[in-house]
Amino acid sequence: MENMRKYLAEFFGTLMLVAMGTGVVVFVGTQAGPLPVALAFGLAVVAGAYAFGSISGGHFNPAVSFAAAINGRISWMDFLGYVVSQIIGAFAGSAVVLGFMKAFGAPAATIKQVGFGQTNFTSPISFLSASLIEAFLTFIFVLVILMVTAKKNAAISSVAPFVIGLTLAALIMLGLQATGASLNPARSLAPAAFLAIFGSSAALTNIGAYIAGPLVGAALAAVVAKFGLGSEED
């Protein structure tokens, strides 16, 4: 029962993240700059962390769970359960966005044109460059998460969700124009898959950059946090 609650928490948290974040991408867009999108994702993380953090730790991101497993904060079995829950939650979040578009009467051609808030990159950004950008952004994000949630920083645990959410927002503002600033394989996979259903597979073709990049960045953050900064010490 305890494990199921953790997995449900990750499902709902990731659903919120994808629905709120990519929903703003779809319905508000980036014409006003990156701030609305960055705040949507950042506030979704803050809300999810406060709502579900005490149950699962509030990861909502396979890269974060990967780092937590590397540093022994969760078991590898839980890691698998978290990732499955996060991916299903991300797909549910994209389904919510689709439901909103359908509610507005958007035809399939419009949905294909507007998309689902998917992440992608275009020339001159290469696959390698996109992967490295995602790795760097995720490294910073996960490093902050591991440090502000470390036992030695228990005194600031009440504000940790705000620190994490604001960090995510800042990193999205930094990387949005380059790669879409995913930092989260589940967040990229679901919108890309939904868009492919409507006939455009461009984002899904490049999904490898949004899986490999964040996982490499998270792994590096885990090592630096544990062995360089003592994140797992009491």
**Distance of alpha carbon 174 from alpha carbon 38, whole angstroms:** 9
Instruction: Report whether the peptide linkage leading into residue 124 is cis, meaning its omega lies within 30 degrees of zero.
Output: yes
Distance CA 164, CA 43 (A): 10
* Mean pLDDT, range 39-57, rounded to an integer: 97
pLDDT score of 234: 83
The model's pLDDT over 50-80, given as tens digits with 9 standing for 90+, comes to 999 999 999 999 999 999 999 999 999 999 9
- Report whether pLDDT(32) > 90: no
**What are the structural domains of the chain?**
2-228 (1.20.1080.10)
The closest of 72, 210, 37, 190 to 138, measured between CA atoms, is 210
The answer, yes or no, to whether residue 12 has pLDDT greater than 90, is yes
Structure confidence at residue 178 as a pLDDT band (50, 70, 90): very high
pLDDT at site 85: 98
Measured distance CA(216)–CA(183) in Å, rounded: 11
Helix/strand/coil (H/E/C) assignment for every residue in 50-99: HHHHHHHCCCCCHHHHHHHHHCCCCCHHHHHHHHHHHHHHHHHHHHHHHH
- The average confidence (pLDDT) of the chain is 96
- pTM for this predicted structure: 0.96
Q: How far apart are the C-alpha atoms of 184 and 144, rounded to whole Å? A: 15
Instruction: Give the rounded percent of residues in the chain with a pLDDT score beyond 70.
Output: 100
* pLDDT, tens only, 183-202: 999 999 999 999 999 999 99
Per-residue pLDDT tens for 164-174? 999 999 999 99
Query: What mean pLDDT is predicted for residues 98-105?
Result: 96
pLDDT of 199 reads 92
Q: Is the pLDDT of residue 1 over 80?
A: no
Cα–Cα distance for residue pair 131/86, rounded to 1 Å? 21
> What pLDDT digit, counting tens, does each position of 122-145 carry?
999 999 999 999 999 999 999 999
